[in-house]
Structure 1
Amino acid sequence: MSSWEERGNYLIEVSQRCLKGRKTFDLCRSHLVQASQISKGTIYNHFTSEADLIVAVASADYRHWVNQAEQDTLQYSDPYLRFIFHHCQRLYRILSEQSFVIARVIPNESILIQASDYYRERFDRVLNQYAQWNTQTLTEIGEVGGFNRGELLCDYLRGAMINSDDAQKHPNDAEMYYQYSYAMTQLMGHSHKRMPSIKVFLQWLADKQA
């Protein structure tokens, strides 16, 4: 990795820290000067527009979830449990780390059009990887006709993450994850599936504290 890439990754990490707890992406490139102790010229060289900064942060978030998905594929042989616990982990991270919910602003065509080719193409690649993982996992669970269930799930997950963040839900609420899983299961069209119980979620949360 070149020093330019390392510096860019550092600026993205600083951006993510600055965005913790926020409900809007109100971070500008100029804000990074003091936060990162890097010159304005260098920052503007990395991100030639505010759209570049947004898309760069979004790419990093999606890269994290692609990596998490790869770990979950190894951990859960059952695709249903893999999908459920993966998306519960996404929600847990948002609430426990007060991470900015990037779904509030991305995907957004108007922002992507404004971004430079470098950041837009990088985002498109990682978004496609993540979408493919979700699609493949749902296919393994078993497709149910009648609706575009992938789209329904995507819309639900986005809304649930934003609403849970807005409501400042507690990250260790096992019943919340149980309800979250129930909604996902219904939208998949697999109401016959045996869902993880509240007891299972309590243990899942306890394991995170170990």
Structure 2
Amino acid sequence: MTFAIGLGIALLLTRMSRWVRVATQCGLLLAWAMPVVAALTVWQFLFDTEYGVVNWLLTELGGDFRGHSWLQEPLSFFAVATMVVVWMSVPFVAFTLYAGLTQVPDDVLEAAEIDGASARQRFAHVVLPTIRPVLLVVLLLQVIWDLRVFTQIYALQKAGGITRDTNLLGTYIYTLGIKGGDFGTAAAAAMFMLALTVVLTAPYVRMMLKTEED
């Protein structure tokens, strides 16, 4: 989701006027620069059981969400966590891919358009191959960072989530080692997390090396 939304915003940035693009970039930069704890405070207020804006808005639209807790059920908990993580990660992806898109030669795009290529064909056969190294790097970093998500989950758990049903690898290792004192199992889980990271990132590293060789 982070990659798809970031790519979409990057494409929109290339079509915006100068001042609209600058304003959008400033907004993205503020979202990216906001400390995690401060951002989570805002999100907790939005989804607060009694005073949350989300519950109030859904109730005004005719739903029965008065006093509804979004953090008690694993599905809704991870939905909120996903929104927080994606919201905080999209700016980096958007900025990086936009920088890559600015390197696509305009004359090549114009030549493809003259030859009759549609916008979709130009994107698939000109833009994507040109920015492929940037795409691979961003995908690699996103996989690593998503596996390392901790603060967002931990803060939402403290705000009312059920820990045993909403753990990710990072919070699970923390719960085992720091809270439970089971350092052996925590170390084994950490090694599994490291191995999983290597397995998931190995194809991207291989593609990046192959791209450089070509």
| Fold match by TM threshold 0.5 | no
Whichever of the two has the greater Rg, that structure is 2
Q: Which is richer in helix?
A: 2
- Give the TM interval when normalised to the shorter protein: under 0.3
